[in-house]
Amino acid sequence: MRTPAPTLLAAALLAVLLAACKTELVCATGQAECGGRCVSLALDSANCGACGNACGAGTVCSAGTCSACAATCTSTRGCAGEVCQPDLFVGCPATSELLPRAADLTPAGSGRSVTAGLTALTSADGFLFSASGFPAAAVDIVPMDPAQASRRVALAGSDLEGIAVHGGVTFVSNAATGTLAFLGAGGALLDELPLPGQQSGPNPHGITFVGSKAYVALTGYGPGSGQAIAVVDLAGLSACSAEAAPPACGAGDTCDPGRHCVAGACRLPCASVSGSIDLSGVAGSSDAPGLPFPGRLLSVGTKVYATLANLKIPAGGSFYMEPAGSGRLAVVDTAAGDAVSIVDLGASCGNPGNLALQGTTLWVSCGSFGYSAAWPGRLVPVSIAGAPAVGSAVSTGDVLPNGISICGGRAYLGDMASGKVLPFDLAARAAGTAVEVCPLNAPPGPPDFGYAYVADVACAP
Amino acid sequence: MSEELVVEGKRAPRPRDPTAAATVIPAERHAGEAKDVAALLATAPGVAVQEYGGLGQLATVSIRGSLASGVLVLLDGIPLQASGGAGGDLASIPRHWISRVEVLRGAEGAYYGSGALAGVVDVVTARPAAGGWRAELSGGSFATWSAGASGAAAAGPWSLFAAASADGTGGRFPYDFDPDPSAGAGGTRTEQRRHNAALRGGLLVKADRPAYGGQLDLLLQLSAGHRQLAGSPYHLTPLDWQDDGRLLLAARLEVPDLLPGLDGGARLHAQADQLDLRLDPALTARQRGAAAGGELTLSWAHAPGRLRGALAASGERLAGDALEGGHSRAALSAALSGELSLGRVRLAPAVRLDAVGPFRGLSAKVGASVALAPWLGLRLSGGRAFRAPSFAELYLRQGLIDPNPALQSEVSLSADAALVAEGAPGLLRLGGFGQRYQELILYQRASFDRLKAFNAGRAAVGGLEVEAASAPLRRLLSATFSASYTWLATRNLRGTGAEVGNDLPFRARHRLYLRAGVAPGPAELHAEVHVVGRQYRDLANTAVVPAATIWNAGGSVRLWQRPALRLHLEVKNLLDDRTASDPLGNPLPSRMVMVTLRAGSSPEGAP
């Protein structure tokens, strides 16, 4: 006997399917139906912000609007409006500009001009602060927003060697005058502090902070100058920086007791020198006939770490330029009366330049520009979880690091011999591929006239 | 016309360049005022003297906005060897020798060869008549002293002249030290400049006699100096010093009328110089230089003028620790110049070919003077000059400095014109000039911590030069007045966008020198002021060096008529400005009082 069951079942299934096709499209959260498809109106360049709103050439859809910035900005911080938010800035002295870069070192906006002779760079509170020296010292305060104008603050002399921001105040090491300058918000000069041995050439460089004290590396120029760390008491910093409208100086630059005349205003003193930590007499700080030459400082907890270049005068030379031996790290225990201990950074590290912290590891950049064959580029890890322990040095290849900056967990090393920046994977302890960032300066001139190097790298504030 | 007016306007006898923009500064006019070469030069228009610390320290000269290397400094017509380090240092020339300083402004390469980009300074030594003598003794502030004596005699056919001099200073002067210079207000304290002493001595011997119908001149100059190098107030260098020394020998034979109207001349010269520089704790530089050369000249006087030809050959050598051994090179030159008088117009064309080692250069100049009236003249000139790179620029490797063997010669082009009015009321010169410098050798940053010499500079300079002298009350008080003023507009033509079009650094737009004096009877009084306008420290023109004014005053009284004996009192920096500093920030001396006793036969050495 034949039954109709299979035929009926097929017909029923067909009817169900047909019915299903007529059902409205259900899209995931954040998507919308456009032309029968589920799309992201925030990101779909054919339906940007609304179905059918296609973005033009050179733009992509970002946050529901067609953006030219988003089409080019590779920064992990994306665009704010139509402005790419770089991950870091590279200081290029040859062209006197700060170049914004994404984490992968691709361009992330237009360069920002600064004063000629760029030496140091830092960032804080939405601003970049660059120190420039020769031939005329100045600090440029550069807002992150390129639509806002930068401010330039001229200082005496022609050699600025360090800059740092603390408590809303910018600290500047003026090597030409042996002073520490204090700039308030907006760039007003709040105070200028003569450093120990001012007339012998203390040559201040790196600056760091522990509690209410600043520590300033006094690099010096040779025997009898520098070779120390100045201790600066910042007890007056809050009061001096808080004054919005200090009284004007009187005739003959006179002020009431407790104040002194600074750039036409009677200001409260920001700081005073409370001591100086001599390094030349510390055993192991250098190899005779070398001298320590402290350079950059970094504080971790109550300890201050200072790189010691350990330099000597080369045969037939006149300046302390050649590494006398391996670089050193001076550790100042501020909780123990500024007691100093010395860490040898190992035979691979000559002329240590700068240092940065990741977790409990200090990373120290090493390498000598004039003696790169004997002292090539290296990165040396120093564990400070307990007593400092120096790890194996890692080669930086052709790059002679002029410092190290850690941005977003990734290290960047600017080259003192070219315009390259070397990304460095700290976890893998491996160098990436160096990227040419700073261009040669190329004004019309002789055929071989032109140079490039990287002065400093600063993480975006 | 006053005596001052005469000497101000007088030209050197038979100058090489008859239409040059020239100023002659007779040392006798400032006798007893303790003025060295730099101080004498500072009274001329178009000239800027840079004293790096003063009181016997390095002093250089710039003409019409040039670098110091663009001015050829001569001693009795012989180029001082700048390659050796001391040549361009005006302070290395003992002041007691000086008879006059001749300043020629403009591209003078056609007459003087390589190096005369912007002009020439020729320090001419004294040449008194037989029997003449003089002596001078000075002492004053900061343990500064000076002694000099000279005498001339005849011995058979020879006329002999010898001069010896010694100068010294303790160099300790008070100055205002600013511990917080960025603050820009008050808070200075008085410091004493230390380790700033200088000592210099010299010997000059001249002899001449008739020879071959003309005259033979022999010359020996010996000088040596030691100076402590104090360093910047913010980086004192209490152990640094410098020694320098120079030996110069020259012989010159001038024979007139070799043929009718044809004069001949020959000159031989040789010199050796040394420079030792110690920067604690290492000896930085030990340089030894030597040069020798000869020149033959023929001068033909013809009806409308004169034609002069010269052939010269020389060699120089410089050796030193920082020069990777020694370097030598030979130089050859051929020059032709003429003077042509056409009524009221006098033309002076000149051309010169130089080969300095591998560097070749063509220099040329055309000058003209027009007598517009008996009391008024017009002078015009235009020229081209070059400067071959020095040994230091080519080979010296020292500290952060790298040489550049690939350098080319610097080149300058200049044009100027001046009206000269001269008559009973006095003298007035009013001129304008334009000058272009190309391929200037500058030390530029070449890498992270190296500076290297490059042909990186190019600049245009223009300006006005005014020079005046008068004796308006001569009959009353023997009053005299003189002045020079320079307006200098410089324009940098190469660099970054922020630098092109700006003023050149350390080139003040305005420079003024005024002097007034009276001489009632046996006494004499004078006052002078130097005003240097605002200038910039950098090519970007962001750092300003403020204007400065320095007053000097002095006087003298005759104590005895024959032999002449005169006592001088000179006060420099009368208002005691203790903030003055040089381009490197080194303080310059505060108020300084010098007392000088001068004695001499007449006329040489007469007060």
pLDDT 10s digits, A356-397: 999 999 999 999 999 999 999 999 999 999 999 999 999 999
Pair of tokens at residue B546:
């403020």
Q: Chains A and B: how many Cβ contacts under 8 Å? A: 158
Whether B607 has a pLDDT exceeding 70, the answer reads no
The answer to whether residue A222 neighbours chain B at the CB level (below 8 Å) is yes
The mean pLDDT value for A185-197 works out to 94
Say if A56 is an interface residue toward chain B (CB within 8 Å): no
Select the residue of B233, B444, B537 nearest A199 (Cβ to Cβ): B233
pLDDT tens by residue, B125-164: 987 788 889 999 999 999 999 999 999 999 999 999 999 9
Query: Residues 6 or more apart from B446 whose CB is under 8 A from it?
Result: A451, B402, B452, B454
Interface mutation vs chain B, best among A177, A182, A267, most B CBs within 10 Å: A177
CA distance from start to end of chain A: 86
Output b/e per residue, B429-452; b: 16+ Cβ within 10 A.
Answer: bbbebbbbbbbbbbbbbbbbebbb
Token pair, residue A443, equals 């004004």
CB contact under 8 A, B181 and A316: no
Residue B5 has pLDDT above 80, yes or no: no
Token pair in block for residue A359: 């977790």
Residue B146 lies in a domain: no
Pair type for strands B231-232 and B189-192: unpaired
Q: What average pLDDT does range A149-176 have in this prediction?
A: 95
Domain count, chain B: 1
At A255-283, the pLDDT tens digits run 999 999 998 899 999 999 999 999 999 99
Q: Looking at residue B10, what is its pLDDT?
A: 34
Mean pLDDT score, B506-526: 94
Task: For chain B, say whether A235 makes contact (Cβ under 8 Å).
Answer: no
Residue A403 reports pLDDT greater than 60 = yes
* Interface touch B235/A178, C-beta < 8 Å: yes
Could A221 and B280 be called an inter-chain contact, meaning their C-beta atoms sit closer than 8 Å?
no
Cross-chain residue pair A417–B281, CB shorter than 8 Å: no
Q: Is B141 inside any structural domain?
A: no
pLDDT surpassing 70 at residue B347: yes
pLDDT band at residue B584 using 50, 70 and 90 as cut-offs: confident
Average of pLDDT values for B415-424? 94
A-chain residues within 8 Å CB-CB of B408? 446
Q: Compare B175 and B185 and report the one with higher pLDDT.
A: B175
**End-to-end CA gap in chain B:** 19
pLDDT score of A441:
82
pLDDT digits (tens, 9 = 90+) for B383-395: 999 999 999 899 8
In the structure encoding, which two tokens stand for residue A101, read together? 């870069």
The confidence band for A2, taking pLDDT boundaries of 50, 70 and 90, is very low
Q: Is B74:B250 a contact under the CB 8 Å cutoff?
A: no
Lowest mean pLDDT among A294-298, A326-330, A367-371, B5-9: B5-9
Question: Scanning the structure block, which residue is given the tokens 């059902």?
Answer: A23
Judged against a pLDDT cut of 50, whether residue B9 lies above it is answered with no
CB A412 within 8 A of CB A89: no
Q: What distance lies between CA B187 and its chain's CA centroid? A: 38
Residue A244 and residue A246: Cα distance in Å, rounded?
A: 6
- Mean pLDDT across the stretch B515-527? 93
Q: Is residue B481 part of a domain?
A: yes
Residues of chain B contacting A193 with CB distance shorter than 8 Å: 180
Confidence tier at B287 by pLDDT (50, 70, 90):
confident
Q: Is the pLDDT of residue B85 over 50?
A: no
Confidence of residue A29 (pLDDT cuts 50, 70, 90): confident
Residue B11 has pLDDT above 80, yes or no: no
- Looking at chain A from residue 113 to 142, which residues have their Cβ under 8 Å from any Cβ of chain B? 113, 115-116, 135-138
Evaluate if residue B525 carries a pLDDT over 90: yes
Q: Pick from B134, B133, B146, B135: which is nearest to B55 by CA?
A: B146
pLDDT in tens, B291-344: 999 999 999 998 889 999 999 999 999 998 777 788 999 999 999 999 999 999
Task: Read off the DSSP letter of residue B534.
Answer: -
Residue B131 sits in which domain range? 3-135+188-600
Are the beta carbons of B498 and A96 separated by less than 8 Å?
A: yes
Q: Which residue shows structure tokens 């460089």?
A: A205
Question: Which residues from chain B sit within 8 angstroms of residue A177, using beta carbons?
Answer: 180-182, 234
**Hey, how many other C-beta atoms are within 10 angstroms of the C-beta on B555?**
18
Residue B171's pLDDT band, with cuts at 50, 70 and 90, is: very high
Nearest residue in chain B measured CA to CA from A225: B235
Question: How much is the pLDDT for B605?
Answer: 40
> Is B183 in contact with A96 (Cβ distance < 8 A)?
no
Q: Is B5 helix (H, G, I), strand (E, B) or coil?
A: helix
Measured CA to CA, the distance from residue B407 to residue A122 in angstroms comes to 39
Q: Which of B180, B283, B400 sits opposite A179 (nearest CB)?
A: B180
What is d(CA B570, CA B121) in angstroms, rounded to the nearest whole number? 26
Q: Which of A90-94, A153-157, A438-442, B119-123 has the lowest mean pLDDT?
A: A438-442
Q: Give the mean pLDDT of A453-460.
A: 94
| Residues of A whose CB is below 8 A from B496 | 95-96, 116, 441, 443
pLDDT at residue B1 is higher than 50? no
Inside any domain, residue B290: yes
- Which B residues, 456 through 485, put their C-beta within 8 Å of a C-beta on chain A? 456
Say if the Cβ atoms of A453 and B447 lie within 8 Å.
Answer: yes
- Lowest-confidence region among A229-238, B89-98, B241-250, B472-481: B472-481
C-alpha dihedral sign at B174, B31, B583, B196: negative
For residue B83, pLDDT over 70 is answered with no
pLDDT tens across B71-82, in order? Answer: 999 999 988 865
> Regarding predicted confidence, which is higher, A134 or B250?
B250
Helices assigned H by DSSP within B18-125: 37-41, 109-112
Query: Is A446 near chain B, with CB under 8 Å?
Result: yes
pLDDT for B496 equals 79
Predicted local distance difference test score (pLDDT) of residue A58: 86
Check if the beta carbon of residue B50 is closer than 8 Å to that of residue B583.
yes
Q: What is the mean predicted confidence (pLDDT) over A133-148? A: 91
Mean pLDDT over A443-449 rounds to 65
Distance CA B456, CA A31 (A): 61
Q: Give residues 253 to 312 of B whose Cβ lies within 8 Å of A.
A: 279-285
- CA within 13 Å, CB half, B179: 15
Confidence of residue B86 (pLDDT cuts 50, 70, 90): very low
DSSP state of B39: H
- Contact A168/B at CB under 8 A: no
Instruction: Residue B474: give its domain's CATH number.
Output: 2.40.170.20
Q: Is the pLDDT of residue B604 over 50?
A: no
Q: What is the DSSP secondary-structure string of B351-404? A: EEEEEETTEEEEEEEEEEEEEEETTEEEEEEEEEEEEPPPHHHHH--BTTEE--
In B169-198, the residues whose Cβ lies within 8 Å of chain A are 177, 179-187, 191
Give me the mean pLDDT over the B435-441 stretch.
94
Check if the beta carbon of residue A132 is closer than 8 Å to that of residue A118: yes
- All residues at 6 or more sequence positions from B553 whose CB lies less than 8 Å from its CB, including other chains: B525, B526, B527, B528, B570, B571, B574
Q: Among all residues of chain A, which has the CA nearest to that of B193? A: A199
* pLDDT of the residue at B495: 82
User: Which among B182, B406, B448 has the least Cβ separation from residue A369?
Assistant: B448
Under the banding of pLDDT at 50, 70 and 90, the label for residue A294 is very high
3 state SS for chain A:
CCCCHHHHHHHHHHHHHHHHHCCCCCCCCCCEEECCEEECCCCCCCCCCCCCCCCCCCCEEECCEEEHHHHHCCCCCCEECCEECCCEEEEECCCCEEEEECCCCCECCCCEECCCCEEEEEEECCEEEEEECCCCCEEEEEECCCCCCCEEEECCCCCEEEEEEECCEEEEEECCCCEEEEECHHHCEEEEEECCCHHHCCCEEEEEEECCEEEEEECCCECCECCEEEEEECCCHHHHHHCCCCCECCHHHCCCCCCEEECCEEECCCCEEEEEEECCCCCCCCCCCCECCEEEEEEECCEEEEEECCEECCCCCCCCCEECCCCEEEEEEHHHCCEEEEEECCCCCCCCCCEEEECCEEEEEECCCCCCCCCCCEEEEEECCCCCEECCCEECCCCCECCCEEECCEEEEEECCCCEEEEEECCCCEECCCEECCCCCCCCCCCCCCCCCCCEEEECC
Contact B185/A441, CB-based, under 8 Å?
no
| pLDDT for res A12 | 60
Q: What are phi and psi of B103, to 5 degrees?
A: -115, 120
Rounded Cα–Cα distance for residues A364 and A349 (Å) = 9
Place of tokens 């504030």: A461
Check residue B401 and give its pLDDT: 84
Other C-beta atoms closer than 10 Å to the C-beta of A299 total 20
C-alpha distance from B576 to closest chain A C-alpha (Å): 18
pLDDT at A300 over 80: yes
Burial of A88 (0-12, 13-18, 19+ CB in 10 A): buried
Residue B302 tokens, joined: 């013809």
CA distance A203 to chain B (A): 9
Question: Does any domain span residue B539?
Answer: yes
| pLDDT over 50 (residue B441) | yes
Contacts of B445 in chain A (CB under 8 A): 93-94, 451
Q: What is the mean pLDDT of residues B455-463?
A: 94
Q: Which two tokens stand for residue A142?
A: 């550069």
The answer to whether position B440 is within a domain reads yes
Percent of the residues in chain B that have a pLDDT greater than 90, as a whole number: 72
- Is residue B197 pLDDT above 50, yes or no? yes
**Helix-then-strand count for chain B, H and E:** 5, 36
Q: Is residue B154 in some structural domain?
A: no
Q: Shortest Cα distance from B577 to chain A (angstroms)? A: 16
Residue B350 has pLDDT above 70, yes or no: yes
pLDDT > 90 fraction of chain A, expressed in percent and rounded: 72
Question: How far is A65 from chain B, CA to nearest CA, in Å?
Answer: 37
**Mean pLDDT across the stretch A343-368?**
96
Domain membership of residue B160 (yes or no) is no
Q: d(Cα B111, Cα A340) in Å, to the nearest integer?
A: 68
Q: What angle do CA A165, A168, A173 make, to 5 degrees?
A: 35
Residue A196 with chain B: CB contacts under 8 Å? none
What are the pLDDT digits (tens) for A43-97?
A: 889 999 999 999 988 888 888 888 888 888 888 888 888 888 899 999 999 999 9
Residue B84, classed as helix, strand or coil, is: helix
Residue B287 Cα, gap to closest chain A Cα (Å): 13
Nearest-by-CA chain A residue for B232: A199
Place B185 in a pLDDT band, splitting at 50, 70 and 90: low
Is B321 in CB contact (< 8 Å) with chain A?
Answer: yes
Residue A145 confidence (pLDDT): 85
pLDDT in the model for residue A68 = 85
Could you tell me what percent of chain B has a pLDDT over 70? 94
Do B182 and A221 lie within an 8 Å CB cutoff?
Answer: no
